[in-house]
């Protein structure tokens, strides 16, 4: 069974084809991605209307590229999957509209996928795939959550951010330091040359006793520190970046370990854009090794948004018998959508 996946929830257009025959992990046949980052950089963040228009321009050429690289024809596609939410409404509508039109033209079913389910299953496409059950640390630009995952479709929320997401904390702090959008990778690069202990920044909710996060106060502390530095900010930027990164990473690592203790599980999956962060990976690897916990990550190029994770999640849900495929092509998108709602909702 071949599943075509289309991702268009934010500023990346991603298309991929997986083979989900049998019961093994679906196999990625090909994928293609166009990132709009350069276009949004001039505005310091994503401009939703520009994002939607660019998805329209990219999605069909990328689909043609994926089919050509996989040596497959559209007639061989069995299901067309798309990101139904959460994300930017207009951007989601482009992917949903194209996927449903394509499915209708091919006489095949279409299927909406939860973007975060895509992220958290994405490590199954890595060279070291996880096994169920596991704790998932989902750290993206819009979400920071710890979930207990017992099988495909079974997602129990253990804790989440009460304000900004970890990616947002990276991005907003980076913006204060005059770094380009999206700030996470830039801040992390700058931090390589800095001293993380140079400034004392808060670790919000570190000792709250629950698994929730809060990052809004950190951004304010970075702003206060930047103002205090005044003209010296330029020469101390690397230190401030390193201190910011150290604060975010320490909270993520400690809360992940608390989730492992609370659940008694021995596998941790890290997914979402911030999962690409090198300090987060090295610190998690070190502490988890000490505690006999296996950590799994997506391949670096599949940490941020992509079509492969959408095709994969669709394939895994189909294999698990969680979807009843229909050839009806009305659709809606869900810009706000809790992952935990997935179980309760009929397909």
Question: 101 to each of 49, 93, 330, how far by Cα in Å?
Answer: 21, 12, 10
Torsion of Cα atoms, 28 then 32 then 37 then 40, to 10°: -120
Residues shown for the chain: 347
Instruction: Tell me the two tokens of residue 65.
Output: 């590229």
62 — phi, psi (to 5°)?
-65, -40
304 near ligand KG4 (CB under 6 A):
yes
How many residues of this chain interact with Zn ion, rule: CB under 5 A? 2
Contact of 227 with 233, CB cutoff 8 Å: no
Of residues 131-150, those binding Zn ion (CB under 5 A): 140
171 binds Zn ion (CB under 5 A): no
> Interface with ligand KG4 by CB under 6 A: which range of 91-99, 146-154, 184-192, 228-236?
184-192
Tell me how crowded residue 63 is: count the other CB atoms within 10 A of its CB: 24
CB of 255 to ligand KG4, least distance (A): 16
Radius of gyration of the chain (CA): 20
Q: What is the spatial distance between Cα 242 and Cα 188, in angstroms, rounded to a whole number?
A: 7
State the nearest-atom distance from the C-beta of 274 to ligand KG4, in Å.
4
- 323 is a contact residue toward Zn ion (CB under 5 A): no
Q: Which is nearer to Zn ion, 116 or 221 (CB)?
A: 116
In the chain, the largest separation of any two C-alpha atoms, in whole Å, equals 63
83 contacts Zn ion (rule: CB under 5 A): no
Near ligand KG4 by CB under 6 A: residue from 5, 14, 182, 315 = 182
Tokens of 160: 């989440």
DSSP 25: P
The residue within the footprint of ligand KG4, chosen from 97, 109, 123, 184 (CB under 6 A), is: 184
Binder of residue 182, out of ligand KG4, Zn ion, none (CB less than 5 to 8 A by kind):
ligand KG4
User: Which residue from 13, 36, 140, 244 is in contact with ligand KG4, where contact means CB under 6 A?
Assistant: 140
Q: Which CB, 140 or 319, lies closer to Zn ion? A: 140
Query: Residues in contact with ligand KG4, total (CB under 6 A)?
Result: 19
Rounded to the nearest whole angstrom, what is the least distance from the CB of residue 120 to ligand KG4 in the complex? Answer: 11
- 213 forms beta bridges with 161
Give the number of other CB atoms < 10 A from CB of residue 287.
15
* Residues that bind Zn ion in the complex, under the rule CB under 5 A: 140, 305
Residues within the interface to ligand KG4 (CB under 6 A)? 10, 140-142, 167, 170-171, 182-185, 188, 272-274, 276-277, 304-305
């Amino acid at each position: 069974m071949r599943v075509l996946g289309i991702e268009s929830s934010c500023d990346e257009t991603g298309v991929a084809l997986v083979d989900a025959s049998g019961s093994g992990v679906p196999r990625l046949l090909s994928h293609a991605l166009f990132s709009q980052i350069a276009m949004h950089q001039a505005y310091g963040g994503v401009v939703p209307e520009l994002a939607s228009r660019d998805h329209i321009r990219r999605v069909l050429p990328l689909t043609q590229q994926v089919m050509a690289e996989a040596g497959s024809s559209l007639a061989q596609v069995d299901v067309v999957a798309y990101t139904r939410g959460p994300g930017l409404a207009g951007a989601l509508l482009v992917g949903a509209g194209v996927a449903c039109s394509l499915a209708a033209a091919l006489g095949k079913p279409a299927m909406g996928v939860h973007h975060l389910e895509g992220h958290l299953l994405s490590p199954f496409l890595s060279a070291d795939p996880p096994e169920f059950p596991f704790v998932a640390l989902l750290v993206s630009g819009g979400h920071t959550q710890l979930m207990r995952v017992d099988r495909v479709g079974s997602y129990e929320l253990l804790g989440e951010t009460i304000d900004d997401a970890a990616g947002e904390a990276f991005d907003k702090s980076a913006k204060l330091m005059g770094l380009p959008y999206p700030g996470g990778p830039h801040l992390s690069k700058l931090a390589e040359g800095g001293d993380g202990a140079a400034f004392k920044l808060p670790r919000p909710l570190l000792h709250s006793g629950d698994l929730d996060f809060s990052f809004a106060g950190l951004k304010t502390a970075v702003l206060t520190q930047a103002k205090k530095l005044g003209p010296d900010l330029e020469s101390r930027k690397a230190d401030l970046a390193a201190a910011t990164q150290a604060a975010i990473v320490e909270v993520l690592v400690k809360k992940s370990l608390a989730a492992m203790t609370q659940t008694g599980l021995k596998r941790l999956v890290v997914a979402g854009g911030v999962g690409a962060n090198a300090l987060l990976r090295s610190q998690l690897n070190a502490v988890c090794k000490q505690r006999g916990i296996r950590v799994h990550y997506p391949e670096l190029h599949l940490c941020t948004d992509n079509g492969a994770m959408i095709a994969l999640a669709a394939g895994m849900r189909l294999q698990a018998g969680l979807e009843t495929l229909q050839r009806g092509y009305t659709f809606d998108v869900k810009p706000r959508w809790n992952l935990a709602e997935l179980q309760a909702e009929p397909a």
